[in-house]
Structures are given as structure tokens and as C-alpha cells.
């Protein structure tokens, strides 16, 4: 027995569940444009560039959500991240060092 669902209801369910995915994809494709800047015809490189883009956009969104109004704009975040990765300033997390002890967990 087929169950028919009204089109507006289906659209409502989709956008309630997938709106965040659409926003992330739009940020990755329109704002970051990593696939455009580092274009390739090699499928494995293209997938890795896409995964890198997802990680960068997720980091940007996490940063903006955690910092609130003092957050960097996306373009500034991408630029600062790129300079940090080039200059290797991300070697430390800023956390305090672990105390040396003989106890293993």
C-alpha cells in the first residue's frame, strides 16, 4: 500500500533536517572556494580537497558559534588559519603542560 505525502510536508521535513548541511555546503563552495582555487581532475585529490574544505568550514562555524560577536568573519578566519598553517603557529594548543608523574592511566 503506497503512502502519499504532501509536497510541502516533505519540503518542511527536508529543510528541518538538512538546512545545516546546505549552509555548510554553501559556505564551502561559495565562500571558501577551495575546489575552484585548487582545481584538479584527479578524483582522489578532489575528494581530499573537499574533505579539507569541510574541516575548515566546520572549524570556522565552531569558532563563530563559540566566540559570538567577537568572532572573525569567515574570510578573516580562513586567512588567519592559512597563515597559521604556513607559519606553523598551531603546534601548541595553549593548554597547560602535563605534570610529570609515574602514574599511567
41 occurs within a structural domain = yes
pTM of the model as a whole:
0.59
28 within 8 A of 54, measured Cβ to Cβ: yes
Asked if residue 28 belongs to a domain, the reply is yes
In this predicted structure, the answer to whether residue 85 has a pLDDT above a threshold of 50 is yes
Spatial contact of 52 and 86, defined as CB atoms under 8 Å apart: no
Which domain covers residue 67, as residue numbers? 11-71
Residue 5 is assigned to a structural domain of this protein: no
Residue pair 53/87 in contact by the 8 Å Cβ criterion? no
**Nine-digit cell string for 28:** 564551502
**Does residue 87 belong to any structural domain of this protein?**
no
Residue 105's pLDDT is 46
Q: How many domains does the chain have?
A: 1
The yes-or-no verdict on residue 6 having pLDDT over 80 is no
Residue 4 DSSP class? -
For residues 59, 54, 42 and 30, what is the CA-based torsion angle, rounded to 10 degrees? -100
Task: Write a three-state SS string for 18-72.
Answer: HHHHHHHHHHHHHHHCHHHHCCCCCHHHHHHHHHHHHHHHHHHHHHHHHHHHHCC
Per the prediction, the chain carries an average pLDDT of 76
84 within domain boundaries: no
Amino acid at each position: 500500500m503506497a503512502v502519499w505525502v504532501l509536497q510541502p510536508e516533505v519540503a518542511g521535513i527536508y529543510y528541518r533536517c538538512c538546512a545545516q548541511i546546505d549552509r555548510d555546503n554553501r559556505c564551502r563552495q561559495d565562500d571558501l572556494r577551495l575546489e575552484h582555487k585548487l582545481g584538479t581532475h584527479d578524483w582522489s585529490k578532489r575528494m581530499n580537497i573537499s574533505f579539507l574544505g569541510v574541516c575548515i568550514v566546520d572549524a570556522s562555524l565552531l569558532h563563530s558559534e563559540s566566540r559570538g560577536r567577537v568572532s572573525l568573519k569567515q574570510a578573516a578566519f580562513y586567512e588567519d588559519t592559512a597563515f597559521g598553517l604556513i607559519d606553523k603557529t598551531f603546534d601548541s594548543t595553549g593548554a597547560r603542560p602535563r605534570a610529570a608523574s609515574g602514574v599511567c592511566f
